Amino acid sequence: MLAGIVAALAASGCGSTDFANKPRAPAPIEVTASIGPRAVKVSPVKVGAGQANFTVANLSSNPATLRLSGPSSGATSEIEAGAVTSVSEELKSGPYQLSAPGSGLRSTTLTVGPPRPSSQNKLLLP
């Protein structure tokens, strides 16, 4: 009887070894951008493909919108002068143009390379 209980516990305690262990997605990268007073700027100017969180400051004296054009595209809502906003975008590999349409400011280029490595086995902070 004891052997039967041990066998039952052993069978129920073992999980299947046929599960897919997919690596964790890359951690999002933080990108800062500023609008004005003479140009749109971004830092860093080269990143790997994947999720990117943009923090955008409008340093011009007029409301403006930041537009991201490239393999994927996106835009912020109108940002009041002196205000800061954030937007998250999934970036694909390739060159991107960051501009503030209608502002007359010079645009800038963001280069997105191959996908970033998995964040598997890395401490992720909130």
**pLDDT tens-digit map of 34-50:** 998 899 999 999 999 99
The reply to whether 76 falls in a domain is yes
Residues 81-121 have pLDDT tens digits of 999 999 999 999 999 999 999 888 999 999 999 888 777 76
Whether residue 60 is contained in a domain is answered as yes
Among residues of the chain, what percentage have pLDDT more than 90?
A: 61
* pLDDT of 67 strictly over 90: yes
The residue to which tokens 């590999």 are assigned: 93
State how far the Cα of 56 lies from the Cα of 85, in Å rounded to an integer: 5
- Say whether pLDDT at 29 is over 70: yes
Assess if residue 122 is contained within a domain.
no
64 vs 33: CA distance, rounded Å: 13
Let me know if residue 52 belongs to a domain.
Answer: yes
Q: How many CB atoms lie within 10 A of CB 28?
A: 16
pTM comes to: 0.74
CATH at residue 99: 2.60.40.420
